[in-house]
Amino acid sequence: MRILHISQNSLAFDQKHAPLASSETLREDLRYYFMSPCEKYRARRQLPWKLAVQILKIVMITTQLVLFGLSNQLVVAYKEENLMAFKNLFLKSYSGVDEDDYSVAVYTKQSVIDNIFYVLDQYSQLDQLSVGPVSYAEENRRLLPLVICKESYRPGRVESSDELLRLLVFLVNYRLVNVEISFTLKGINLQTISSHEPPDCYMFAVTITFDNQCHSGKVKITLDLDAVSSACKNWKISGTAQKNTHYLLIFDGFIILVCLTSAVLCIRSIVLAIKLLQRFSKFCLKKYNRKVCEDDQREFLNGWYVLVIISDVMAIIGSVLKMEIQAKSMTSYDVCSIFLGTSTLMVWVGVIRYLGYFQKYNVLILTMQAALPKVLRFCCCAGMIYLGYTFCGWIVLGPYHEKFEGLSRVAECLFSLVNGDDMFPTFAEFQQKNTLVWLFSRVYLYTFISLFVYMVLSLFIALITDAYETIKVPTQHA
C-alpha cells in the first residue's frame, strides 16, 4: 500500500520499508494536508475556519463594493452634469454633442474673437446665469483670477485704442497656436442632504482651449473640467446627520479585521506547508537517499493562498481609502475603485479552489492548468504576427481610416475583427482617394482575417479542447 502519491511523477514508498514512528506520523500529516475542509472535519472534527472566513469575506467585500459603487455613481453623475452645464454656459453655439477631440469648431477670426468675448461675458455674469449652486472660488478671501494664456510662433503688432480688442486681435492671427482660458469655480453637491448626510463641496478647475495647432483654418474649442471635492465647513444639518457614515466606517473597519484574519490564516498555512515539505524532503533523503522532485514540491506550495493574501492586502488598502473618502479627507475615487474592484475579483476567483475539491466541478481548473503552458507559448508566437499587422496598419492606413490613427486604436480594431465585430464598417469606411492604399487595405484586411479567424483562433480553441479531452476521461471514470 502506498503512503503518498501526490502526482503522476511523485515519489512513492511502501509501508513495509518505513519506520513506524516517523512514517506513520508523516503519512497522517500528508494525508491531512491534502484533505478538503469537509474531510478534515470528518477526520479530526476541526472546523473549517479558513472556509468560513472566506465565505464571510465574500459577502462583506461584495456588499462594500456595491455600496461604494452606488455612491461613486452619484459623484460621477454630478461631475458629468456639471461638465455639460459649463459647456452650455461658456461655449457659444454649443450643440450638446461633442466630437472625438473637441466640443465646438470655428473657422474665422471674428468667430474666435466672439467666442473669447462670450466666455468672458458669461464668466462675469455667472451669479445671474447659473441655476446651480456654483460661484466664484476664493482663496484667503480673495477671488481667484481668470487667466488667459496664448501660444504663438511670433508676436505681432496691432494698433488700437481698445486694449482688450488689441489683445484679442493680437491673439488671433495666422501665427496663433492656441489660446487657453482658465478659471476656478466652487460648487456644492446637495444630493446627500436628502439622506441626512453632510454635502460635498467642490472646486472646479475649468480650462477652455482654442486649439489652432494644425493651422488648417479650423480652430477646435474644448472645455476640460477637473473637480476636487472636500468636506464643507460650517454646515449643520438637523436630524440624524452622519449616522449612515458612522455605520459605514464601522462596517469598513470590520472588513479590514476579517481580511487581516484571512491573511494570517493563509500565511500560517503556507508556513506549515513549507515545514511539512522540509520534513518530507529530509525523510526521503535520509531513508531512501532520493530528493523530492520539483512537481511534488510545487504541490506543497498552494498558489491559491498567495491569491487570497494579495486580495486581502488590496481589500485592506481599498477599505482604508474608502474610509478616507467617506471622512472627506481625500477624493481618489479611481484609485479606491481599482483596489476594491480587483480585490473583489480575486475573492470570487478564489472560490473556485473550494469547488476544486469536488471532481465533477474541477473540470475548469484542470483544463486551465493543462492548457495554460501551451496557450502561453502559442500566444507568444501569434503575438509577433499580431504586432506586425498592428505597426503595418498604423503607418499605412492611419491617414485614411480613423480606426488606424493610433497604435492602441489599431490593436483594438484588429482584436474586434478577430472576434467578428465591425467587419463590414471597417471595410466600407476606407477612403478611396488613393487607389494603391485602397488595394493594400483590402489585401491587409483579407489576409489578417483569414489568418487569425480561420487559423490562429481555431488552433487556440483546439489547444484548450485537447486539454479538456485529456482530463475528461479520468474525470468521467472517477
Q: Which residue has the higher pLDDT, 358 or 154?
A: 358
Task: Kindly state the average pLDDT of the residues 408-431.
Answer: 86
pLDDT of 208 above 90: yes
Nearest to 4 by CA among 213, 299, 336: 299
Euclidean distance between the first and final Cα of the chain, in Å?
Answer: 20
C-beta separation of 56 from 335 below 8 A: no
Which pLDDT band holds residue 162 (cuts at 50, 70, 90)? low
Least confident of 156-160, 255-259, 270-274, 340-344: 156-160
Task: Kindly state the average pLDDT of the residues 444-459.
Answer: 90
Q: How far is CA 13 from CA 8, 10, 29, 125, 273, in A?
A: 14, 10, 16, 89, 20
Which pTM value belongs to this model? 0.70
Identify the three-state secondary structure at position 230.
strand
Report the pLDDT value the prediction gives residue 364, as an integer from 0 to 100.
Answer: 76
For 119-129, write each residue's pLDDT tens digit: 999 999 988 88
Which pLDDT band holds residue 235 (cuts at 50, 70, 90)? low
Helices (H) and strands (E) in the chain, counts: 15, 8
Report the pLDDT value the prediction gives residue 193, as an integer from 0 to 100.
Answer: 64
Nearest to 32 by CA among 13, 46, 21: 46
Percentage of residues in the chain having pLDDT higher than 90: 17
3-state SS string for 323-351:
HHHHCCCCCCHHHHHHHHHHHHHHHHHHH
pLDDT of 268 above 80: yes
Task: Kindly state the average pLDDT of the residues 392-415.
Answer: 89
For 324-371, write each residue's pLDDT tens digit: 887 767 667 788 889 999 999 998 888 777 776 666 667 777 788 788
Q: Per residue in 446-472, is it b (16+ CB within 10 Å) or e — as a string?
A: eebbebbeeebeeebeebbeebbeebe
Report the pLDDT value the prediction gives residue 15, as an integer from 0 to 100.
Answer: 40
Which pLDDT band holds residue 6 (cuts at 50, 70, 90)? very low
Which pLDDT band holds residue 237 (cuts at 50, 70, 90)? low
pLDDT of 269 above 80: yes
How many residues make up the chain in this entry?
478
Q: Which residue has the higher pLDDT, 296 or 201?
A: 201
Which pLDDT band holds residue 8 (cuts at 50, 70, 90)? very low
347 contact partners, CB below 8 Å, separation of at least 6:
54, 57, 58, 61, 62, 308, 311, 315
For 385-397, write each residue's pLDDT tens digit: 999 999 999 998 8
Q: How far is CA 165 from CA 102, 119, 150, 160, in A?
A: 26, 15, 15, 7
Task: Kindly state the average pLDDT of the residues 226-255.
Answer: 70
Which pLDDT band holds residue 9 (cuts at 50, 70, 90)? very low
Helix (H) or strand (E) holding 129: helix 126-129
Task: Kindly state the average pLDDT of the residues 209-238.
Answer: 79
Report the pLDDT value the prediction gives residue 154, as an integer from 0 to 100.
Answer: 59
Which pLDDT band holds residue 161 (cuts at 50, 70, 90)? low
Report the pLDDT value the prediction gives residue 99, as an integer from 0 to 100.
Answer: 80
Report the pLDDT value the prediction gives residue 1, as an integer from 0 to 100.
Answer: 31
| Report for 8-12, 397-401, 469-473: range of highest mean pLDDT | 397-401
Report the pLDDT value the prediction gives residue 38, as an integer from 0 to 100.
Answer: 66
At 295, list the grid cell: 512537481
Which pLDDT band holds residue 447 (cuts at 50, 70, 90)? very high
DSSP bridge pairs for 183: 206
For 180-190, write each residue's pLDDT tens digit: 999 999 888 77
Which pLDDT band holds residue 240 (cuts at 50, 70, 90)? very low
pLDDT of 84 above 50: yes
Instruction: Please give the mean pLDDT across all residues of the chain.
Output: 79
pLDDT of 137 above 90: no
Least confident of 57-61, 234-238, 239-243: 239-243
Least confident of 151-165, 221-235, 365-379, 448-462: 151-165
Q: Which residue has the higher pLDDT, 9 or 437?
A: 437
Q: Which residue has the higher pLDDT, 262 or 159?
A: 262
